[in-house]
Structure formats: structure tokens, C-alpha cells
């Protein structure tokens, strides 16, 4: 059969598009801000805030104010030098207009001459992109005794820069309103903004940052009539952050919920080597997990990079040198990287003129000079710290020894499990009803609460792709449990063997037997507790499953509604009421206390008063557990890929997730009590 020749179309200069000004930004916004979802929306805030933060980092400002205004507007003010308003030689218009309407125009490309030796702004795309993606932007500049303004719409100026008065202030105020046609939904997250602003205040010492939520304030207020919104004295949510201690204060904040610090004195070092300013603080606490945050020019680097590699290398070397010199372990024994990280809280921050990031997401520092600088600064300072603080050094060593012994015990426990599996021909747990396929891409495992629900799930499943693993009772809380003890728990041991990926340093994602791990528990308090215990296990010991989107939570219905041959399921009270109205029944029915009957005529033991109602001629059954469904119902509502609803579990903020797990599942009872009291009104309790 002759192949079809490709069609040749005209391709010349006329087919080459040239986008002028800020058109490329509106054409492909994802290239400049990552996405047009919540992350991209908040990226606009960071771009404007970071410009003011850079003024403070360069020593030209000491106060920054970020305000959420009515009408989806953001206002950022600083008392820095003020953007220049005189005419730019190359563009022929004001420098302010050039910066606000031209890509890659700014004061951070000229090195020391610009006054920005170090800048986080080079990581981003600047005010011009914010301007391009906003329906309204206003720049107000106070400089040289004058007050100037210019307004824009979708990146284009409305008029030339004009002087609107005198001023004894210096600084810049940027107000913008994101374009609803670009972002679809404009909803700023107060907690997200507050967290990042707090973080930046730690990283730039002596910078005062005010963040104000004025979205519910009177929209008729003239926000341009005052420099600082805080001076209006409005009764709105606000926070002010100011930390003289810098990253040491950050360590104190991160460890605020920890009861037993291992070190009495927080280690801190700061020094500049070869144009790389290194700042490090750390403290060991009585915990099994580590919290290490790294930054480059105040930009968070969750992917780590050269500065983190230099830190870990120096830390492991120094503690092993101390071990050899003081014979902490037997001859020939040494600590591993995992041993020295257990219980460590650390902040590593580097600032440098030229900065390189790796990858599309730019979350990993690639500048090689950062590694050598961190190793040198931290190595010298931490060695002196250990010598000058012998009590802290001894406490750290005792912590390392516990970690070392636990690692050995855990390895023995893992070897035992794996060896047993090998001797038995890799026998899977007896309670596991495995699926037929060996292709992990289509295989899924349901972790089901109780043998009753497990039996029903086994009957209703698709045997080819769905495996069922029922749990007996509540799994072990692993938040404060070492790996060796955890692997002694039969339920957890069954899961580890079933998953096939091993655990700890032997974990191998490629060997995972399922790419969907589905938690299926009852819709009651016990079910929620079991779900939380399982999520704790995955977060602490199988984080790669979460990072790669393997973990899901099943959403079984709360109600079965039947009127004649019309059968529906409802997942919330609101859905139940809508279904009843749609079926022509009255939602406010009376409780039917007649017990359910099984096929052989026996009464069930379910709480009938809670489980079933009659509303008109419609019958409403309230499910208390998965075991109350028959196999057909469970398949149709919870297991059938065509009709089921699954919630994928992701981690948007690892630091906040770590804190929540530690608070809810750890040993710090006062912190947990405070959390419960604070959020009690938000709880939905099924009584």
C-alpha cells in the first residue's frame, strides 16, 4: 500500500508571528507564572511582594505592607527608594513605565551598580507580567519629594506618568486586580499568603512585614488616600512579622511544639565566602523525623540542591569525626546520613549574585559554588560548636547512637520479612485477595476496614484488577514508633509485603505492585481515625506514594434512596434532600423503626433509627459502614471505576503537613488539645 505523501503548505515569513509588548504573556501565561490555577494566581502576589522584599534585603527599606482589598485587588507598599520616574534613555519613556510594560526590564540586571547585589527577583518575571495579566494596575511612587502615579489596563498604560502632589516619603505602592478571563477563579488564600510572608520575614532580618485582610472592608474606601493601610485602624484580620533573630527565630518557630530539645543552645553560623553569603541554624529535638528547609536568595528550594548537599556532607563527616575521636561507637562503625538527620531541624539559606536553578519548576539550586561555600562555613563553625559546647555535643551523640541502633534493628526486621517472603516463594499475606493482573499501572488495592466489609468487597470486586486487604482493628500509630517496632505489627507487615516496594532505605517505587492504593473506611468516627492512622503511615514511611499520586480515599455513599423502581445514592445530606425532592418525596419524613431483614429473614444489628427513614413513599437508608452494603451496592457506588468517586491524596505544603501530623498523632498532648479546642466548631460529628 502506497504511503500518503505529506501535504506541503506555504511556510514563509508571513507565517512567523511576532508578539509585541506583553502579548506573549497573555498568549502563554503558564510559561511565565507556571499555571492559571491557584498557584499562578498567588505567583502574581509573590512577584510584586518580592520586589519590595528585595528593597529591604538590599538595605533600602525596612517595612513592607501587603493588603487584600475588596474586589479581588492586591496592594503592596514599601518604604524603599521608589521606582525611578525620570525618562529612560533607550525607551524614551519614564523608567516606571518601562519597568511596568516591558519584559525583562528592571534594576536587578546591573549588579552592584543597581544597588541589588543579591536579589530573589531574578527567579521570577517581574511587575510587567503581573501588569499584563491584570485588568487594572496602579503604580504610585514617592521619590525626590514628589508623588507620582500611572495606571494600566491589561499591561498597557492609560496615560503618561504624572506628578500628583508632594511627598516626604520614599517608596512604591503597587495595586493590581487579576484578570478573570485568565484565571477563571480569583480566590486568594489568606493562610498561604500569611505563611509565605512570615517565612520571608525570617529570611530578611529586621524587615517589618504587615499583612492585612481588608476584603470585607467598605469597598467605597479611598485606598489611594493613605500610604500605610495599617494607619487607618480598621478592625480587620492582620499580622505583623518582625524577627531580629532571623533564621534562629525560624528554628524556634518550627520547634515550638516540640517538648524535648536535645540541644540547649541553637547552633547558628553566618559568613560570606567568594560572594556566597551562607546562613545556617539548627537544633536537634527528641523526634524521629527531620525538618530541613533550604533557601537560595530567599527563594524556597524544596528540591534541595547544591547548598543542601554541602550541608549534609559536612554534617555527616563532622559527626563521624567526633565519633572516631571520642569512640562513641565501636571501631569500624559509623553513622549514616539517615542517622545524623533523625530529629534535626535546620534552615540553610544562601545569598549570591548569580544564581542557577535546575529543572522546570526551579525548586532545586544548581549553582556548584554554593556547595563548597556551605561545606566550608558550616564545617568550620559546627566543629567549633561541638568543641565549645560539650554537653550539647554529648546529647547529640546520644541521639545519634539511638538512631544507629534503631536502624540496625529495623534492618534486621526488614531482612526477616523479606527473607521469609523469599523462602516461602514470596508468599503474600493470607488475608490479601490479590488481583490477577501483574501490571501495576492497572492494578489497585483496597485497604478495607474490618473482615465484614472485606468479605463484601471480595465478592463485589473486579478480580482482574482489584485486590482487597482487610484490616483487623486499628493499625498502629507510627508517628512516634521506630521502624523495627512498626514492622512487628501484623497489619502493617501485611501492607508492606502486599505493596511490594519494601520500606525505608530499601524502598523501590519501581517494585510497587499497585499504582492505586485506596483507603476504604466507614463514614463514622472510627473510620476517620483509621483513615488518619493509615495516612500517617504513608506520610512517614511511604512519602513517594503520596508524591506520585498513588494514594486515594474511597467515597462511599451515606444514603440509599428508593422510591418504587427509582434507586439513587446520596453522598451528603444536601444530595439526599435534592434527590427526595426530585423524586417527588418530602425530605422531612418520619423514622421507620422496623429493622432491616436479610434474605433469610434474620434482623440485622444495624442501628435502624439512624439507618432508615420513610419520606412519603421514598425509603431512605443511612449507611453506617461498608459492611451494611451488599456486594452489588458496594461495587456500584464505591468500586466501579465508571461510577465511583475517589479523592486523591496530595501534599501541597510539606512543612504544614508535617506539623499537622506531629500535632494530631504525636505525644504532645497540650498542642493537640489546643488544636481541638481551636477547630472544634469546624468539626462535623455524626452522633
Q: How confident is the model at residue 551 (pLDDT cuts 50, 70, 90)?
A: very high
pLDDT score, position 554: 93
Residue 573: domain span? 559-622
CATH (domain of 116): 3.30.565.10
Other Cβ atoms closer than 10 A to 200: 25
Q: Is residue 16 situated within a structural domain?
A: no
Spatial distance between the Cα atoms of 524 and 681, rounded to a whole number of angstroms:
18
Q: Which conformational region is residue 420 in: left (phi greater than 0), alpha (psi within -120 to 50 degrees), or beta?
A: alpha
Let me know whether 38 and 185 are in one domain: yes
Q: How confident is the model at residue 666 (pLDDT cuts 50, 70, 90)?
A: low
| Predicted TM-score of the model (pTM) | 0.71
Q: Rg of the Cα trace of the chain?
A: 30
Let me know whether 284 and 168 are in one domain: no
Listed as own residue / partner, the contacts of 163-170 with beta carbons closer than 8 Å and 24 or more positions apart are 167/142, 169/79, 169/142, 169/227, 170/79, 170/80, 170/81, 170/82, 170/142, 170/143
pLDDT score, position 548: 93
Let me know whether 152 and 95 are in one domain: yes
Q: Is residue 377 situated within a structural domain?
A: yes
Query: 109 or 37: whose pLDDT is higher?
Result: 37
Residues 29-60 pLDDT 10s: 888 888 889 989 999 999 999 999 999 998 99
Q: Is residue 687 situated within a structural domain?
A: no
pLDDT over 90 for what percent of the chain? 50
The answer to which of 5-19, 539-553, 621-635 has the lowest mean pLDDT is 5-19
pLDDT score, position 462: 95
Let me know whether 390 and 532 are in one domain: no
The answer to which of 53-57, 338-342, 663-667 has the lowest mean pLDDT is 663-667
377-383 average pLDDT score: 96
pLDDT score, position 564: 82
Which of 241, 273, 297 delimits the end of a domain?
241
SS3 of residue 137 by DSSP: strand
Q: At what angle do helices 654-665 and 669-679 cross, to 10 degrees?
A: 110
Let me know whether 136 and 276 are in one domain: no
Spatial distance between the Cα atoms of 411 and 189, rounded to a whole number of angstroms:
43
Q: How confident is the model at residue 121 (pLDDT cuts 50, 70, 90)?
A: very low
- Catalytic site positions: 449, 522, 524, 526
Q: Indicate the average pLDDT of the chain.
A: 83
* Helix/strand/coil percentages in the chain, nearest 5: 40, 20, 40
Query: 113 or 572: whose pLDDT is higher?
Result: 572
Q: Is residue 496 situated within a structural domain?
A: yes
The answer to which of 102-116, 535-549, 586-600, 653-667 has the lowest mean pLDDT is 586-600
Let me know whether 167 and 261 are in one domain: no
pLDDT tops 80 at residue 3? no
pLDDT tops 70 at residue 686? no
Based on the structure, what is the number of domains in the chain? 4
366-377 average pLDDT score: 94
216-238 average pLDDT score: 89
pLDDT score, position 203: 94
The answer to which of 97-111, 262-276, 348-362, 633-647 has the lowest mean pLDDT is 97-111
SS3 of residue 364 by DSSP: strand
Residues 585, 588, 592, 597, CA torsion sign: positive
Residues 414-467 pLDDT 10s: 676 655 543 344 467 778 999 999 999 999 999 998 888 899 999 999 999 999
Query: 259 or 618: whose pLDDT is higher?
Result: 618
pLDDT score, position 615: 46
Q: Is residue 532 situated within a structural domain?
A: yes
Q: How far is CA 217 from the centre of its chain?
A: 30
Other Cβ atoms closer than 10 A to 82: 25
Q: What are phi and psi of 596, to 5 degrees?
A: -65, 155
94-114 average pLDDT score: 69
pLDDT score, position 682: 63
Nearest Cα residue to 385 out of 336, 319, 286, 334: 319
pLDDT tops 70 at residue 537? yes
CATH (domain of 393): 3.30.230.10
pLDDT tops 70 at residue 277? yes
pLDDT score, position 137: 96
pLDDT score, position 70: 94
Let me know whether 590 and 571 are in one domain: yes
Let me know whether 522 and 655 are in one domain: yes
pLDDT over 70 for what percent of the chain? 81
Spatial distance between the Cα atoms of 400 and 403, rounded to a whole number of angstroms:
5
The answer to which of 380-394, 410-424, 612-626 has the lowest mean pLDDT is 410-424
The answer to which of 87-101, 111-125, 239-253 has the lowest mean pLDDT is 111-125
Q: How confident is the model at residue 588 (pLDDT cuts 50, 70, 90)?
A: low
Q: How confident is the model at residue 320 (pLDDT cuts 50, 70, 90)?
A: very high
Q: Where are the alpha helices (DSSP H) in 58-115?
A: 95-101
Let me know whether 213 and 291 are in one domain: no
Q: Where are the alpha helices (DSSP H) in 600-668?
A: 608-611, 631-634, 654-665
pLDDT tops 70 at residue 74? yes
pLDDT tops 50 at residue 284? yes
Q: Is residue 656 situated within a structural domain?
A: yes
Residue recorded with cell 512577584: 47
Residues 646-659 pLDDT 10s: 999 988 766 666 66
Q: Is residue 298 situated within a structural domain?
A: yes
Let me know whether 477 and 517 are in one domain: yes
Q: Where are the alpha helices (DSSP H) in 167-268?
A: 180-183, 190-203, 247-254
CATH (domain of 669): 3.40.50.670
Judged on CB neighbours under 10 Å (0-12, 13-18, 19+), 631 is: middle
Residues 638, 640, 645, 648, CA torsion sign: positive
63-79 average pLDDT score: 96
Spatial distance between the Cα atoms of 298 and 334, rounded to a whole number of angstroms:
35
525-549 average pLDDT score: 90
Let me know whether 272 and 374 are in one domain: yes
pLDDT score, position 80: 94
Residues 477-512 pLDDT 10s: 888 777 778 888 888 888 988 999 888 777 899 999
Spatial distance between the Cα atoms of 19 and 26, rounded to a whole number of angstroms:
10
Q: Is residue 2 situated within a structural domain?
A: no
51-73 average pLDDT score: 94
163-171 average pLDDT score: 94
Convert 499-515 into a string of H (helix), E (strand) and C (coil). Answer: HCCCCHHHCCHHHCCCC
Let me know whether 525 and 665 are in one domain: yes
Amino acid at each position: 500500500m502506497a504511503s500518503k505523501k505529506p501535504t506541503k503548505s506555504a511556510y514563509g515569513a508571513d507565517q512567523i508571528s511576532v508578539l509585541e509588548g506583553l502579548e506573549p504573556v497573555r498568549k502563554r501565561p503558564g510559561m511565565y507564572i507556571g499555571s492559571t490555577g491557584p498557584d499562578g494566581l498567588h505567583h502574581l502576589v509573590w512577584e510584586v511582594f518580592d520586589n519590595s522584599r528585595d528593597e529591604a534585603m538590599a538595605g533600602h527599606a525596612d517595612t513592607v505592607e501587603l493588603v487584600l482589598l475588596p474586589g479581588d485587588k492586591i496592594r503592596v507598599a514599601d518604604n524603599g527608594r521608589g521606582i525611578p520616574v525620570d525618562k529612560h534613555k533607550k525607551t524614551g519613556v519614564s523608567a516606571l513605565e518601562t519597568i511596568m510594560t516591558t519584559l525583562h526590564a528592571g534594576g536587578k540586571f546591573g549588579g552592584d551598580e543597581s544597588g541589588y547585589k543579591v536579589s530573589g527577583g531574578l527567579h521570577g518575571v517581574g511587575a510587567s507580567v503581573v501588569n499584563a495579566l491584570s485588568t487594572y494596575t496602579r503604580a504610585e511612587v514617592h521619590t525626590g519629594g514628589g508623588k507620582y502615579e500611572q495606571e494600566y489596563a491589561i499591561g498597557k498604560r492609560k496615560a503618561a506618568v504624572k506628578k500628583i502632589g508632594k511627598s516626604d516619603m520614599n517608596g512604591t505602592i503597587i495595586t493590581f486586580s487579576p484578570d478573570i478571563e485568565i484565571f477563571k477563579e480569583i480566590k486568594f488564600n489568606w493562610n498561604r499568603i500569611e505563611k509565605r510572608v512570615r517565612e520571608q520575614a525570617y529570611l530578611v532580618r529586621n524587615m517589618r512585614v504587615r499583612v492585612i485582610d481588608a476584603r470585607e472592608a467598605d469597598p467605597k474606601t479611598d485606598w489611594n488616600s493613605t500610604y500605610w493601610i495599617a494607619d487607618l485602624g480598621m478592625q480587620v484580620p492582620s499580622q505583623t512579622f518582625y524577627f531580629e533573630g532571623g533564621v534562629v527565630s525560624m528554628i524556634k518557630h518550627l520547634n515550638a511544639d516540640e517538648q524535648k530539645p536535645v540541644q540547649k543552645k541553637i547552633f547558628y553560623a553566618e559568613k560570606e565566602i567568594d560572594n556566597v553569603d551562607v546562613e545556617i541554624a539548627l537544633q536537634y529535638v527528641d523526634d524521629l523525623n527531620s525538618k530541613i528547609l533550604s533557601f537560595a536568595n530567599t527563594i524556597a528550594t524544596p528540591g534541595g540542591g547544591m547548598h543542601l548537599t554541602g550541608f549534609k556532607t559536612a554534617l555527616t563527616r563532622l559527626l563521624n569525626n567526633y565519633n572516631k575521636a571520642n569512640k562513641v561507637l565501636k571501631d569500624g562503625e559509623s553513622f549514616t546520613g539517615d542517622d545524623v538527620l533523625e530529629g534535626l531541624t535546620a534552615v540553610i539559606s544562601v545569598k549570591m549574585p548569580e544564581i542557577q536553578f535546575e529543572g522546570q519548576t526551579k525548586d532545586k539550586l544548581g549553582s556548584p559554588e554554593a556547595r563548597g561555600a556551605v561545606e566550608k562555613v558550616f564545617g568550620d563553625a559546627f566543629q567549633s560548636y561541638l568543641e565549645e559546647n560539650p554537653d550539647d555535643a554529648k546529647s547529640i551523640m546520644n541521639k545519634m547512637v539511638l538512631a544507629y541502633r534503631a536502624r540496625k534493628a529495623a534492618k534486621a526486621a526488614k531482612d526477616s520479612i523479606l527473607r521469609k517472603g523469599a523462602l516461602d516463594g514470596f508468599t503474600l499475606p493470607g488475608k490479601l485477595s490479590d488481583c490477577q493482573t501483574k501490571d501495576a499501572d492497572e492494578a489497585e488495592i483496597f485497604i478495607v476496614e474490618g473482615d465484614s466489609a472485606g468479605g463484601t468487597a471480595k465478592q463485589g470486586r473486579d478480580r482482574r484488577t482489584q485486590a482487597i486487604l482487610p484490616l483487623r482493628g486499628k493499625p498502629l500509630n507510627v508517628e512516634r514508633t521506630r521502624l523495627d517496632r512498626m514492622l512487628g505489627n501484623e497489619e502493617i507487615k501485611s501492607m508492606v509485603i502486599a505493596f511490594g516496594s519494601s520500606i525505608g532505605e530499601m524502598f523501590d517505587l519501581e517494585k510497587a505492585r499497585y499504582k492505586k492504593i485506596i483507603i476504604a473506611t466507614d463514614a463514622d468516627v472510627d473510620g476517620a481515625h483509621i483513615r488518619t492512622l493509615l495516612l500517617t503511615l504513608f506520610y512517614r514511611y511511604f512519602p513517594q506514594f503520596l508524591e506520585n499520586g498513588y494514594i486515594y480515599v474511597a467515597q462511599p455513599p451515606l444514603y440509599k434512596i428508593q422510591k418504587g423502581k427509582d434507586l439513587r445514592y446520596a453522598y451528603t445530606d444536601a444530595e439526599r434532600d435534592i434527590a427526595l425532592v426530585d423524586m417527588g418525596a418530602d425530605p422531612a419524613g418520619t423514622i421507620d423503626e422496623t429493622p432491616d431483614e436479610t434474605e433469610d429473614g434474620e434482623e440485622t444489628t444495624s442501628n435502624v433509627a439512624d439507618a432508615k427513614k420513610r419520606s412519603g413513599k421514598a425509603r431512605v437508608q443511612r449507611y453506617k459502614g461498608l459492611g451494611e452494603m451488599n456486594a452489588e451496592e458496594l461495587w456500584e457506588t464505591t468500586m466501579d471505576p465508571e461510577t465511583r468517586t475517589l479523592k486523591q491524596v496530595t501534599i501541597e505544603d510539606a512543612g504544614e503537613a508535617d506539623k499537622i501530623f506531629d500535632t494530631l498523632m504525636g505525644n504532645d498532648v497540650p498542642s493537640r488539645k489546643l488544636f481541638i479546642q481551636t477547630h472544634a466548631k469546624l468539626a462535623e460529628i455524626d452522633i
